[in-house]
Structure 1
Amino acid sequence: MMSSSVLIILIIASVVASIDFSDTRDAEIDQLLKKLNKPALKSIKSPDGDIIDCVHMKNHPIYDHPLFKNHTIQLRPSSYPEGWNNEDSDTKKQSLVNQLWTVNGRCPKNSIPIRRTRREDIVRAKSIKRYGKKDPNSLPQSKATYSANRNFSEHEYSQVVVKGKFHGAKAIINVWKPYVQPDEFSLAQMWVVARPSSNFSEVNTIEVGWQVYKNKYGDDFPRYFIYWTRDGYSDTGCYNLDCPGFVPINQHFAIGAAVQSVSTLDGRQEQFPVTIWKDRHSGHWWLKFSTNLIIGYWPSTLFTHLQTGATEVQWGGEIANKKDQPQHTTTKMGSGNFAQEGWKKASYFRNLEIIDEGEITRPPFGTAYTYMSHESCYNIKPGIHNVWGLYFYYGGPGRNPNCI
């Protein structure tokens, strides 16, 4: 039988160990906050609660990456796909994607807006080491592979996919505010992928769209986001600016900020155009919103296989189902309505286009196909229209009598 003195010693040791662990975690959080939150020339409080720090270009996050200590930041693309008017990208002529923080101020010249990371953002993360990263192997699988692993996969998709050789892609993305269960997310995005083999650890991706992800952002607003990886989400890459990689250059647009206006059922439909393309001279992958709002770029040497081009483009919705309950999650994809509900009810992507190796922008007619990982929960319905080009409706409510 354990003596009372031994028991007291064990309790004290346990308390001390707990305190040591807590102190270590606090120190790690402080270190990460210091790394992510650069000195600001000016800070702007957004009405939605965000704080936007205006960071001088000399303190740009890209300089934290070991490959880019001496990187020369490119302030505008050096090449565009065929038929584009390069002057449209002149910063003086940019049409802005409205963000709520801008009603309280703008960033000074030679600075970029960065959404401030808060302590609670990191505390909510399961791992400080993997803060801002997706789960490994969270790229869509083949239908057969997904069906075999459905009980283990947390991610579900409804997509249009095209395979070939590409230097970019475009789409207009409809925005909603879906219900999302705690610790899960719902998103709509475009994936530009280089998948050279069946070895998942070699997958390179660039991703952009909107997402509702309370565990990350602390609220249920749809937010503009980006993502990248060069090793199948294993060790490299992250959301937004949670690690160095993407090079924002625009002083009017904060990555990770909330989308100001969202679509309503049977009402006004909100959308935004997005384009990703490979600069033929520098090799960088550029990101553009709206008709001429250049956001920034991913340096070519950030990647392995995307240095030469993409092999796949995907457009569509994704949800995370944490499977905390025996039934399927009630997290919604898109508007939460199935694709067949159509206009002003279902969410959509329209004007899907790819940019080929000849820098020609064109719809992927005849080569695109649909992919649904769990059709009774979330589905997709494509079509062709004289104004919308190649488009699709997609989404669903999750749990329903046919999705359990």
Structure 2
Amino acid sequence: MEASRRGVCDTIPGARIRHLYSSWVVIGTYCIRLVILVTIIFVGSSQGRELTQAATAASRHERRLEAYTDSRSNGAPMHGPAVQSFRVSDGSWVDCIPIEQQIAAHHPALQDHIIRMQESSSTHLNLQQQNADRQSLLHPQRFAREHGGCPEGSIPVQRMSTDSKQLSLRKQQQYHRRHPRHSKHVGNGSAAAANDLGHLYAVVGAPETVGAYAGAGAIFSVNGPVIGDPSYEFSLSQLWIAAGNGNNTNTVEVGWQTYPALHQGDNPLAPHLFVYWTSDDYHGIGCYNLECPGFVQTSNTWVLGGSLAYTTLAEETQNEFNYDDEISISVVFDSTIPGWSLSINETNVGYWPSSLYTTLQTSADTLEWGGEIAPSTIPTNTSMGSGAFPSAGFPLAAYQRNVIFYDSALTPMNADLSLLGVTNANCYNVSIQQSGDFANWGSYFFFGGPGGLDSACV
């Protein structure tokens, strides 16, 4: 009996050990399963977040143009309704339009077009890094300074008065005409030649070579020219990128323009940023800014048609020149769009899709930079640039500096400004400087003049 009890008792500790061992196995197995389950959930949720983020990024970077229609438009192309509107201190209004519903969506070649939301690109030469004098880089437009920009997913559109809009749609092709090399008025022409042409020029150009250029750029002084007849005349500084000839002339054009009749009610005597394009030599296809389907805007801070900070000749005379009153502009062909990409002050603003063009789809033949006047009479009291002749030099005369072109390999190079186009040197002139007194200005030129105010502009 004792032996029997002893045997039973002897087995009790072993049973307990086996029981505890079994319990730990169960607990361990449970813990392992729990860890595996948590890992699966974590990985799954992480992958889910990544997929969600990827989808969000894809939706943000792959927006499609969607033409907005409204019965009140009578079939005319128009932007979608504003998601927010801002009053600017210069008296203008800026409407923030859904990027998908901008007017470009109405172009037949851009139906279902995926908007290329470009990041800042090294393709655009960083012109501002070439100038150590520019210490501060305040945005030159009041809208961005005062309001920061439009909400994400929208673009700013300058609201135009009824009179300005009618003028823009009815007469912009008539006013904004071909430049001298395409119209064969090149050289120091007479007043009669200028009158035949309708416009007066002081421009420089790179050698004309078919298909040689993939873009151009420069840093522009922004000036306050005098406008003799505000009901009609304009004065501008711009760059031209062109291809073709005759009725097949295609252009990309960017710069600033003082054009009171087009900018009524929002500081009309100030220079305004503009873009322009044509694909039929200015006969009816193309327009300023976002007034017709064509240019695709991506920036939510730059207002095409918006006024710019500038320096007047009186301020320059008192040595009050401000490097903030400059803008750097470059236009480069981007094969990933495909199209011509616009950068202002190193911000991608938008692009002209290649499908807008017939001869400017991938490369350009002609590059020009300089000033233009649209006179109502000759002589005219409208000045070009600052109103000073090129001989006045810096800081009085208007200029474009760090003038560059991009070759077919997208290499930025100082432009060889070997060609001049001056309609009448008694009115307005140009002076080319190749790495002259300002070592960090690269290729540059001074241009402009007072018109009939202080010269024999006849």
Q: How far apart, CA to CA, are the structure 2 residues paired with 1:242 and 1:82?
A: 26
Question: Given that residues 175 and 374 in structure 2 are in contact (C-alpha distance below 8 angstroms), is that contact kept between their aligned partners in structure 1?
Answer: no
For normalisation by structure 2, the TM-score amounts to 0.72
TM-score, normalisation: structure 1? 0.82
More deviation, 146-155/311-320: 146-155
Tell me the C-alpha RMSD between the 2 structures: 2.5
Helix, strand or coil: the match of 2:360? helix
2:422 corresponds to:
372
Q: Distance in 1 between matches of 2:120 and 2:328?
A: 21
The more displaced of 144-153 and 63-72 is 144-153
Which residue of the partner structure matches residue 153 of structure 1? 197
User: Number of residues paired by the alignment?
Assistant: 355
The reply on whether 1:359 has 2:359 as its aligned counterpart is no
Structure 2: gaps (5+ residues) = 1-71, 127-136
For 1:297 and 1:331, locate their aligned partners in 2 and report how far apart those are by CA, in whole Å: 32
Matches within 5 A, 1:320-331: 320-323=374-377, 328-331=379-382
Match of 1:393 among 433, 436, 446: 446
Preserved CA contact (<8 Å) 2:148 2:301: no
More strand by share: 1
Could you say what secondary structure the match of 2:194 adopts?
Answer: coil
Gaps of 5+ in 1: 1-29, 85-94
- Indicate conservation of the 8 Å contact 1:188/1:318, yes or no: yes
Is the Cα–Cα contact under 8 Å of residues 383 and 392 in structure 1 kept in the other structure? yes
2:375 pairs with 1:333: no
CA distance in 1, matches of 2:406, 2:123: 7
2:215 aligns with 168
Residues 3-402 of structure 1 aligned to structure 2 (within 5 Å):
31=73, 35-76=77-118, 81=123, 97-102=139-144, 103-104=146-147, 106-123=149-166, 125=167, 128=169, 130=170, 132-135=172-175, 137-140=177-180, 141-143=183-185, 147=190, 149-162=193-206, 163-164=208-209, 165-181=212-228, 182=230, 183-195=232-244, 197=245, 200-218=246-264, 219-263=268-312, 264-266=315-317, 267-269=320-322, 270-290=325-345, 292-323=346-377, 328-365=379-416, 368-385=418-435, 386-399=439-452, 400-402=454-456
Change (3 A) 1:394 1:78: closer
Residue 350 of structure 1 contacts residue 392 of structure 1 at CA under 8 Å; is this kept in 2? yes
Give the Cα separation in 1 of the matches to 2:219 and 2:111: 35
CA distance in 1, matches of 2:125, 2:177: 37
Q: Distance in 2 between matches of 1:63 and 1:342?
A: 45
Give the number of the structure whose alpha-carbon radius of gyration is greater: 2
Letter in 2 for 1:122: K
CA contact (8 A) 1:99 1:258 kept: yes
Paired AA for residue 336 in structure 1: G
Contact 2:299–2:349 (CA under 8 A) maintained in structure 1: yes
Which secondary structure state, in structure 2, belongs to the residue aligned with residue 166 of structure 1?
Answer: coil
Whichever residue aligns with residue 117 of structure 1, its letter is M
- Of all paired residues, the percent bearing the same amino acid is 33
**Structure 1 residues 144 and 159 mapped into 2: Cα distance closer, same or farther (>3 Å)?**
closer
Q: Secondary structure at the match of 2:440?
A: coil
